Amino acid sequence: MKPLKTNGLVVTIQGTSLLKAIGGFLLFLFMIFSISGALTSLKPEYRISSSSVNTAATNLTGEMLYHFLGWENHAFLEAMPEDSFPPRFANVVFKLSTNVNLDDPRSLLGRELPFFSLYDSKILVAGEGTDYTNMPIESSPPLEVLKAEQEAALQNTEGLDSNEENSQSGTPPMTTGDKKAVYVYFSHNRESFLPYLKGVNDPNAASHSQINVTKIGDKLKAELESRGIGTTVDKTDIQGALNKKGWSYAQSYEASREVVQAAASTDRDLTYFIDIHRDSRRKEDTTKEINGKTYAKLAFVIGAEHQNYEKNLKFANELHKRLEDKYKGLSRGIIQLQGERTNGKFNQDLSENAILIEFGGVDNTFEELDRSAEALAEIFSEYYWQAEEVNSTIGGESEKK
């Protein structure tokens, strides 16, 4: 038999394949333009943004990734603990597509209730009694309260000026000498406390230019320096700066950022940066009794939208663990803030050792606040000198090499 001539058939098949390829490419372009047009025509609040991608990525934990890989290569599952169970695919898809976490009702309510998402922070490390019902609240004072000429009269202020002097005496075994290693500042410098404001009962109105969180800085400085750690307390009136510039209260961190940057560029020895605040919650959430004495609880706040996030978190976690060892229940834990309705940085991108600490709440007294400042100075000094010893050892070994 003679072989069939197939040249024409081959040419026809090749032509058909080419047409299909071109058609598929055109269909792909049409879909891309259609999807892009649909996304850009949506209202801004429904569009996909970088924050949406970040939220989705955050929801995919390392454990979930191991399980996903384990579906294809079972060797990955050998690394998982026995009590680890694979995620339900439907639950994962639901969470990623809706941003609703059934374990956290705030993820749903935040979209439905006005301003509810302002409290959409995350507990990274929960201290004793800390949950999503009593997390720190940062409230903005009414406009009339922000004016210095409308300040409340003071009360119960006898002896406050000498509180910072009651630190441990004696010469510390180690000292930084003339070097200032710690920089303490106050982005909300007029946050005050109700026991000292005559006739004021509203937590949002607890503000004063004289009796405020800056006094905590004085006590912390005295305690740190009594342990040999040089400390600078910057009492720049950030609220006064906002008033002069016509800026809103929400721009406090922008104003304090200028102050911190100036200090860091002037003094290269500054290593640790602590922004001291006061929570707006009431006494039952912000007070702890230890060995018969009451303390103002401490909460560590970390911004997650910068490159130093993990190092700042490590620093805060060290302080939290040391407080738990010596002053059980004094730390409320570590809170993470990020998203469109919060600062997300809190100037912590300026240093690997920067933290924001909430000292007590509106009902705490300076006796309680001073005890907490002393406790913090004690565990911080232990952490600081241990880190210095490690750095000195590493430095010495490097010189030998």
Q: pLDDT tens digit string along 190-243?
A: 999 999 999 999 999 999 999 999 999 999 999 999 999 999 999 999 999 999
pLDDT tens per residue across all 401 residues of the chain: 455 555 555 556 566 677 777 777 788 777 776 766 665 555 544 444 444 555 555 555 666 666 667 666 767 666 667 666 666 655 555 555 555 555 555 555 555 554 444 455 788 899 998 888 888 887 777 766 666 666 788 888 887 876 555 566 678 889 999 999 999 999 999 999 999 999 999 999 999 999 999 999 999 999 999 999 999 999 999 999 999 999 989 899 999 999 999 999 999 999 999 999 999 999 999 999 999 999 999 999 999 888 899 999 999 999 999 999 999 999 999 999 876 667 788 999 999 999 999 999 999 999 999 999 999 999 999 999 999 887 666 555 545 44
Amino acid letter at 63? Answer: E
Taking alpha carbons only, the member of 348, 254, 342 closest to residue 302 is: 348
Give yes or no for a contact between 366 and 215, defined as CB atoms under 8 angstroms apart: yes
| 123, β-bridge pairs | 335
Taking alpha carbons only, the member of 303, 307, 321 closest to residue 352 is: 307
- DSSP letter assigned to residue 277: E
Report CA dihedral (312, 174, 297, 311) to the nearest 10 degrees.
10
Tens of pLDDT, residues 48-80: 444 455 555 555 566 666 666 766 676 766 666
Q: What domains are there in the chain, each with its CATH number?
A: 52-114 (no CATH), 121-153+177-392 (3.40.630)
CA atoms within 13 A on the CB side of 230: 11
CA distance 220 to 381: 11
At how many degrees (to 10) do helices 214-226 and 366-400 cross?
50
Q: What is the CA angle 239-344-336, rounded to 5?
A: 110
Judged on CB neighbours under 10 Å (0-12, 13-18, 19+), 274 is buried
Strand pairing class (182-185; 331-337): unpaired
pLDDT at residue number 29: 74
Give yes or no for a contact between 339 and 120, defined as CB atoms under 8 angstroms apart: yes
DSSP letters of 286-321? HEEEETTEEEE-EEEEEE-SSTTHHHHHHHHHHHHH
Q: Indicate if the alpha-carbon torsion angle 274, 280, 281, 286 is positive or negative.
A: positive
Residue with tokens 């229940």: 329
Report CA dihedral (310, 316, 322, 327) to the nearest 10 degrees.
-150
pLDDT at residue number 3: 52
Backbone angles phi, psi at 266, to 5 degrees: -80, -40
pLDDT at residue number 401: 47
Locate 337 and state its tokens.
């803030």
pLDDT at residue number 115: 46
Taking alpha carbons only, the member of 167, 138, 141 closest to residue 342 is: 138
Q: What is the CA angle 102-105-106, rounded to 5?
A: 130
CA distance 97 to 361: 38
Strand pairing class (293-296; 287-290): antiparallel
pLDDT at residue number 377: 97
CA distance 267 to 252: 23
CA distance 15 to 186: 73
pLDDT at residue number 82: 66
